[in-house]
Amino acid sequence: MPWQDGRMRPLLTREQIEEAFSELDRELGRAGQRATIHVVGGAVMCLVFRARESTKDVDAWFDDSRSVRAAAAKVANLLNLPENWLNDAAKVYIPEQARFEEWRSLSNLEILVADASTLFAMKCAAARTEEDAADIRVLARELGVHSSKEALRVVEAFYPASRLPVRTQPATGGDAR
């Protein structure tokens, strides 16, 4: 995705995300704060499943958003990262039944990641890009999902069919295989 001046937005590698989380932990500590973040999306595909080398940002939901945003801005400046390297724009898409697992516990920062089923459902519900399709294939293998019927069962455990975008809703009639 390009910036306003037409240059391509840099991608964050697994190593850069890990370094940024370490710096975020330090910044929170300097401010006397402690936070928990719940990571979803491409960052989980990089960090946990190692299915990608990079992602454009870290989508997350976090408590104490003011402290986390302030610390993340300092980390962005320190490490020369995009200012929105950590953002909570995806929080509106996280299903109520989402499940998270501990990934790292640092002194001032608890990092939880969406489990495979939650991430699979979110990716299927969004299905925006070829990158999403590649992530869905990785997660399907991880979960042992081999048919559209099985995939739909996973998705519907998190989202009612009526809440899915039209392009991702199941076709009516016929065998959903």
pLDDT band of residue 132 (cuts 50, 70, 90) is: confident
- Does one domain contain both 94 and 125? no
- Does one domain contain both 124 and 109? no
CA distances from 98 to 55, 92, 138, 154 (A): 21, 12, 19, 12
CB 137 within 8 A of CB 153: no
For range 122-136, the mean pLDDT: 86
- Does one domain contain both 46 and 95? yes
- Does one domain contain both 157 and 95? no
155 within a domain of the structure (yes/no):
yes
Domain span at residue 147 reads 119-161
Q: How far apart are CA 29 and CA 47, in angstroms?
A: 23
pLDDT for 177: 43
Instruction: Print burial letters for 131-156: b (CB count within 10 Å at least 16), e (below 16).
Output: ebeebbebbbebbebeeeeebbebbe
pLDDT for 168: 54
- Does one domain contain both 18 and 73? yes
pTM (two decimals): 0.85
- Does one domain contain both 80 and 141? no
pLDDT band of residue 6 (cuts 50, 70, 90) is: very low
pLDDT for 175: 46
Q: How far apart are CA 148 and CA 118, in angstroms?
A: 16
Tens-digit pLDDT profile for residues 62-100 = 988 899 999 999 999 999 999 999 999 888 889 999 999
- Does one domain contain both 59 and 28? yes
